Amino acid sequence: MRAPCLLLSQIFLALSLIALNAPSRAQTLQIYTQSWPPYSYEHQGSLTGYSTELLQAVLQEAGIDANYTTLSWSRAYQHASTEANTLLYTTTRTPEREELFEWIGPIGLRKLWLFKLKERTDIKIKGVDDLKKYRVSIVRDTSSLQLVMERGLFPRSQIDEAPTTTSNVKKLFFKRVDLILATNGGANYELSQLAYAKDSIEPVYLLNDEFSLYFAINKKTEATTIEKIRLAFDKIKSSGLIETLKKKYKVD
């Protein structure tokens, strides 16, 4: 009986040494995002978009497995800000959020434009004082809405809150609002999905461009995981992939 037992012991020891010496992978990361074309959205049953492709490349480089969940922005933000081992994208890095996350990026500049129908030649905006003349639609529970509210850029009675950028664009064509607030990439993508001419809306005023877009990691996430992602992002950034994806998805 000693020979079989000795053989089993040798096999167990060999397997243990292999396990110890094998490269370890980080714990599976839970990813939360919203449907926000062209940054993250579903196409033919798969999650895609500028930020999605970039994040997938970063995590592959870092050797980190991930589960992706698409939720409303408010729910995605709630999960990622309270749960360990989570990452949220695409996120605006603001002073109010600074201490809540570890930030990876920037992955792009957030330029917030006010768009109008091209046929609305009566809408003219030369400065912030002109904003009070018009009704605007903004996606609810976003940093964009928070910025507008905190700075009093529009009277509260003239702000229409919408669930998505798609709703915003439709409201513009139905003439329920005069303006919508969106990124250039977001507005152009939504227009491409609707039965309207591509040049039927136009940016009329750059409202804000002081903040950038990032990947946000919950601070309770393992430090080794965060560091792997940070190093992988730096490597992907130097590869030129960011500029390639910006051209592909037509983002600023």
Contact at 8 Å (CB) between 181 and 137? Answer: yes
**Would you say residue 12 has pLDDT above 80?**
no
Could you tell me if 105 and 224 lie in one domain? Answer: yes
Q: Is residue 12 in some structural domain?
A: no
Tokens 């003439």 sit at which residue? Answer: 175
Q: Is residue 136 in some structural domain?
A: yes
Contact at 8 Å (CB) between 217 and 102? Answer: yes
**Would you say residue 112 has pLDDT above 90?**
yes
Structural domain boundaries, residue 229: 28-109+211-249
Q: Is residue 66 in some structural domain?
A: yes
pTM for the full model? 0.80
Could you tell me if 59 and 179 lie in one domain? Answer: no
Q: Which is more confidently placed, 165 or 79?
A: 79
Could you tell me if 157 and 181 lie in one domain? Answer: yes
Least confident piece of the model among 21-35, 103-117, 218-232, 233-247: 21-35
Q: What is the CATH number of the domain that holds 189?
A: 3.40.190.10
Could you tell me if 117 and 150 lie in one domain? Answer: yes
171-208 pLDDT per residue, tens: 999 999 999 999 999 998 998 888 888 889 999 999 99
148-162 pLDDT per residue, tens: 999 999 999 999 999
- CA torsion sign for 158, 74, 223, 28 is negative
Residues constituting the chain: 252
* Mean pLDDT of the chain, nearest integer: 90
Determine the Cα–Cα distance for residues 228 and 225; give it in Å rounded to an integer.
5
Q: Is residue 11 in some structural domain?
A: no
At 2, the pLDDT band (50, 70, 90 cuts) reads low
